[in-house]
Structure 1
Amino acid sequence: NGALFQRREAIKGRSFPAWFRAQGYTTVSVGKVSHHPGGRGGADWNDAAQPEMPGAWTRHLLPAGPWKHPRGAMHGLANGEIRGNAKGMDLFQSFDGPD
């Protein structure tokens, strides 16, 4: 994922949301719009100082729920479990709840 943040510096021109923001619109990223959920980098993908798309979003919203942060919400594992070492995790997960 380091290449993603290196590439953003090399891209010339504005992204679609950055163009709208420059025209005075409020732009809001909700959920997984770019690569990382929430559109940020850092250890848990929630560092405002490391945007994936600089200048694009007025606000970022990522309701991570029981997963606590965007990195945890990325895989949406059952019962709020956050992906870790695969050897210590169940092979199959499900949640008994309404469809």
Structure 2
Amino acid sequence: MPKEWRLSRGYLVGPRANLAGANLAGGHLAYANLVGANLTGADLSGANLDNARAQRAVLTRANLTGANLVGANLTGADLTDANLVGATWIDGRTCAEGSVDRCA
């Protein structure tokens, strides 16, 4: 397996991975390299994405409820219609009810 890749909840996870619709709920993705990955419609609820690198990742319609995103790099990531309710945002604050597309 390439150095930047890992196995999480039965999925190979790494840069530019196609994880559209994947069930990664509760997955351990801390420090994962998800640069340019396609996570459209993926279930990442309760996942630990602490310090993950997800620049330019596509997270359209992803379920990130209750996910830990502290320290994650989401520069250029597409969060269109992503559910962030209850997620711990990159700066440590908890995303409020109605947090879709961005942490409110």
Same fold (TM over 0.5): no
Q: Compare the two structures and name the one with the higher helix fraction.
A: 1
Range of TM-score over shorter length? under 0.3
Instruction: Compare relative contact order (CA 8 Å, sep 6+) and give the higher one, 1 or 2.
Output: 1
Report the TM-score when normalising by structure 2.
Answer: 0.22
